Every structure is written in structure tokens, then in C-alpha cells.
């Protein structure tokens, strides 16, 4: 019989925004007691006893790898957390009308237990997709139960094939990513090592740049003030968004920020895919004057040929890859020599297992690597990449975790805590919207 116990997130009775105001208030009693048995989703607004539910036994193993005792995956818990952002965020995709301003980020947390040891990982979605990730993960998670927790490649493959009908990219792999990342966290915790050390680090800190302050909704005064704060806090570079419908606005902002920072502070720009090839070439030639570290996502994320042509024409390095959701998609960039810097995102490509595969491809192709978002995970992966690289500093996730990333002398320091070093906050528990468990998940993770 498989049972599951209290989640680290289950203290929550309702989702709460900044300042304590309710985000989802006013549900009826029927809503609060709702239980969707089709996908086994249990609302976090339910009384605790309603959540202490037994799950059906996992299916019989279809392949090898099943082990007994503490080596086996004995429990998995999935939790959906909605993080509200302090202010609506806009990049070029909003100014060109393709997306609405972002007001929240939905996280899929996975906790994996093997005996009395635990790992935690997460995936995420911006705007739509969080429900799909959660539902898919809930459908395939039981596949991992009973498998050797050390055999992460084998588990990843079995999870992938369990849901392969809906593809080996996109929301399906992002659902698996949370479990894969939790398994790597578990493995490093069991070894008593930070994940970077388990993987084999090349350095104890990584160059880091700030993105949070450079969005298009921020005016120039706010951007420069924030840049000053970031540099004073030990962050080494500044990235600002471009891709405004009137490119003269972009060029004025870049010129002003470069003038403010001086010529020696690394500065990047990010167009979030909003230029066509001709526009990117025209603006890129002007941007070459400013000694930028890179131009990010100048073109559509899937235009490998266009990126390759642009990279040949411009002096400024080209960076892209954050929107891609598989090794196969990244391989298209690498084999077309589309970018000087690829920007994979472990939660988006399916976890740390596929990230390491594409990192090997990138290194042997002479490509630099600057992971996108999720610095809490990527600091470890960037430290384990052979070439000196950058990690993106975003402060958005700070309310979710107890520990702050340390920055000094332009670099982010690899945490020395075992695993990823993640410990969710009480506030994160209050933002839980759904949770479900499989097997025996044991003692809450702290
Ligand atoms: Mg970007």
C-alpha cells in the first residue's frame, strides 16, 4: 500500500499575494472540497485530512532498474506554487502585442524521496502552461517509483517515454524536468556535496549579470538606478531589453545606459525574438559601436539559419536558446553555428540530464554557454561548464527560498550547501495552489 504524507508546502490554506492580500479569495465550500479524481489533483484549499489520501499502487515495472530498500525512489510529491510579481513585467513581446504583461510565475516543485533522504527540484511557466506541466507530471510520476534513484538517466528516459505521445519537448519535458532536477539534488545531498561539485566544477564562482532591472516597462532613470544598485551589490554585468516598436528608442536607451555605466562594465541587450532578419542586421550594425557582451534573441528562436547569418555579419556575439525545449532543438543551433553563446534553461529542456548532454555538444562545438533564468539551479551547471560563462541574476524567486545567492566582485558564488541548496520559505507554502503525492514521501524537507 502506498501512502503519502504532509508536503513541505501543505501548511497553506489559501494563496496570498504581496502584503498579505488574498489572490484567490471567495471560493465556495464546494470549490474548497473539490477533488478531481481524473488527474488526482487535490486543492491546497482543502482541509488537511482531505489531502491525506491514498494513491493507487504504481503500475508493474515495464523495464529493469527496480530495486529494494533505500536505493529506490520511494515517494514523489508535486506541488504547484503561484509566485506573484511585484509589478507587471513587459519585454518586447508585450510591446509588439504578442503577449500580455507578466504578473506571476507558476512553479512546479517536485520532491523525491529515497528512504529518508529527499531532493527538491522545480520547473516553471510564465503566463500559460503551469496547469499542463502539473497535470502531465502527475500522470507520469509513478513511473519513477521503485527505480534506483541513482540511475537518473534511466528514470528520465522512462518518464519521457511514459508521455511520449504528446512529444519529447514543450510542457511534457518541462513536467519531467522538475523530477529530474529533484533526483540530481537528491544524489548530491546523498553524497554530501553541492551539485556543482558532484558534476565536477571548474570554478567556485561564475560571472553574473542583472536582468531584473532592464525590462521595457522601466524608464531610463529606473534602469540606471537599478544598474548602480546591482553593481554595488557585486553583480558584474547589466542586461537591458530592446525590441521596442520604434528602434530609435532602443538605440537611445542603449547609448544612455552605456554612457552611464562607462565602457568597462559588461552590457548586454535582449530583443526577445522581435526583429526580422533585416531589422536585426540594421540595428545590430549600430549596436556594434557599444562594445556589447552580446545581442540576445535578435530573431525568432527557431531561425537557426538567420541567427547564423547575423553572427557572421556582426562583431557583437549573438546569444539565443532560452525558448528551446529539447536537446534536439539546441542541436539545430549548434550545427548551424547559429550563436556564439547558447542559453539553455534546465527546467525548459527537461532537466539537468538533457542540459548536460547539450552542454557537451556546445563545448565541443566551441560555443559559450550562459544559462537562462533559474539562477538557483544554473549556478551549479554554469560552474561545471568547461568554458568561463555567465549566470543570469534574477531576484524574482527570492521570496520562494530561504537563502540568497551571494554575489561579489562581479560573480555569483556557488553555494556550499549539499545538493542545490534550496530550502522553501513559509511564504512559498502560502502560495501553493495544488499538491499531490505518490508512494511514501517521508519527513518534510527543510
Ligand atoms: Mg532573454
In this prediction the pTM is 0.86
Q: Is 187 a catalytic residue?
A: no
* Distance in Å, CA 152 to ligand 1 centroid: 29
pLDDT at 224 over 80: yes
Least confident of 88-92, 120-124, 216-220, 437-441: 88-92
* Distance in Å, CA 35 to ligand 1 centroid: 38
What is the distance in angstroms between the CA of the first residue and the CA of the last residue of the chain? 26
* Distance in Å, CA 351 to ligand 1 centroid: 19
pLDDT in tens, 248-270: 999 999 999 999 999 999 999 99
* Distance in Å, CA 369 to ligand 1 centroid: 13
Q: Is the dihedral of CA 347, 212, 378, 356 positive or negative?
A: positive
Instruction: Find where cell 506573484 sits.
Output: 84
pLDDT at 430 over 50: yes
Least confident of 52-66, 112-126, 202-216, 417-431: 52-66
204-228 average pLDDT score: 92
For 9, 44, 80, 81, 137, the CA distances from 15, given in Å and listed in that order, are 11, 9, 11, 9, 22
pLDDT at 50 over 60: no
Query: Of these residues, 93, 118, 197, 241, which one is catalytic?
Result: 241
Q: CATH number of the domain at 196-413, please? A: 3.20.20.120
pLDDT at 242 over 60: yes
Q: CATH number of the domain at 18-192+425-439, please? A: 3.30.390.10
Domain with CATH 3.30.390.10 in the chain: 18-192+425-439
* Distance in Å, CA 180 to ligand 1 centroid: 24
pLDDT in tens, 143-202: 999 999 999 999 999 999 999 999 999 999 999 999 999 999 999 999 999 999 999 999
Average pLDDT, the chain: 86
Query: Of these residues, 372, 378, 380, 393, which one is catalytic?
Result: 372
Domain with CATH 3.20.20.120 in the chain: 196-413
Q: Is 2 a catalytic residue?
A: no
* Distance in Å, CA 316 to ligand 1 centroid: 16
Q: Which pLDDT score is estimated for 8?
A: 52
* Distance in Å, CA 131 to ligand 1 centroid: 23
pLDDT in tens, 10-35: 433 232 222 223 323 333 222 322 33
* Distance in Å, CA 270 to ligand 1 centroid: 6
Instruction: Find where cell 507530471 sits.
Output: 137
pLDDT in tens, 356-413: 999 999 999 999 999 999 999 999 999 999 999 899 999 899 999 999 999 999 999 9
Amino acid at each position: 500500500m502506498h501512502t503519502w504524507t504532509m508536503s513541505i508546502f501543505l501548511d497553506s490554506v489559501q494563496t496570498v499575494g504581496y502584503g498579505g492580500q488574498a489572490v484567490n479569495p471567495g471560493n465556495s465550500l464546494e470549490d474548497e472540497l473539490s477533488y478531481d479524481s481524473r488527474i488526482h489533483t487535490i486543492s491546497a484549499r482543502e482541509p488537511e485530512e482531505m489531502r491525506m489520501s491514498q494513491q493507487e499502487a504504481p503500475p508493474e515495472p515495464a523495464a529493469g532498474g527496480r530495486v529494494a530498500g533505500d536505493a529506490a525512489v520511494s515517494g514523489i510529491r508535486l506541488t504547484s506554487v503561484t509566485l506573484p510579481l511585484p509589478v507587471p513585467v513587459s519585454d518586447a513581446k508585450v510591446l509588439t502585442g504578442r503577449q500580455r504583461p507578466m504578473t506571476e510565475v507558476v512553479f512546479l516543485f517536485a520532491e523525491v524521496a529515497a528512504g529518508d533522504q529527499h531532493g527538491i527540484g522545480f520547473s516553471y511557466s510564465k503566463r500559460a502552461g503551469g496547469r499542463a506541466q502539473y497535470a502531465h507530471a502527475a500522470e507520469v510520476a509513478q513511473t519513477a517509483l521503485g527505480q534506483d534513484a541513482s540511475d537518473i538517466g534511466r528514470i528520465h528516459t522512462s518518464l519521457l517515454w511514459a508521455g511520449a505521445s504528446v512529444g519529447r519537448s514543450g510542457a511534457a519535458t518541462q513536467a519531467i524536468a522538475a523530477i529530474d532536477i529533484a533526483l540530481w539534488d537528491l544524489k548530491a545531498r546523498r553524497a554530501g556535496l553541492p551539485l556543482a561539485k558532484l558534476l565536477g566544477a571548474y570554478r567556485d564562482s561564475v560571472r553574473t549579470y542583472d536582468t531584473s532591472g532592464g525590462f521595457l516597462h522601466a524608464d531610463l532613470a529606473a534602469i540606471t538606478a537599478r544598474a548602480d544598485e546591482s553593481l554595488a551589490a557585486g553583480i558584474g554585468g547589466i542586461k537591458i531589453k530592446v525590441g521596442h516598436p520604434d528602434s530609435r528608442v532602443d538605440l537611445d536607451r542603449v547609448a544612455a545606459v552605456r554612457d552611464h555605466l562607462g565602457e568597462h562594465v559588461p552590457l548586454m541587450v535582449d530583443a526577445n525574438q522581435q526583429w526580422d532578419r533585416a531589422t536585426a542586421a540594421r540595428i545590430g550594425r549600430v549596436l556594434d559601436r557599444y562594445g556589447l557582451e552580446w545581442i540576445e534573441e535578435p530573431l525568432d528562436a527557431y531561425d537557426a539559419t538567420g541567427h547564423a547569418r547575423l553572427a557572421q555579419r556582426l562583431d557583437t556575439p549573438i546569444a539565443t536558446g532560452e525558448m528551446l525545449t529539447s536537446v534536439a532543438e539546441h542541436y539545430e543551433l549548434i550545427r548551424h553555428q547559429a550563436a556564439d553563446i547558447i542559453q539553455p534553461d534546465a527546467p525548459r529542456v527537461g532537466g539537468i540530464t538533457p542540459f548536460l548532454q547539450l552542454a557537451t555538444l556546445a563545448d565541443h562545438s566551441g560555443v559559450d554557454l550562459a544559462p537562462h533564468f533559474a539562477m538557483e539551479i544554473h549556478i551549479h551547471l554554469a560552474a561545471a561548464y568547461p568554458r568561463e560563462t555567465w549566470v543570469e541574476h534574477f531576484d524574482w524567486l527570492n521570496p520562494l527560498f530561504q537563502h540568497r545567492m551571494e554575489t561579489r566582485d562581479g560573480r555569483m558564488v556557488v553555494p556550499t550547501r549539499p545538493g542545490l541548496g534550496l530550502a522553501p520559505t513559509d511564504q512559498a507554502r502560502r502560495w501553493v495552489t495544488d499538491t499531490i503525492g505518490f508512494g511514501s514521501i517521508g519527513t518534510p524537507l527543510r
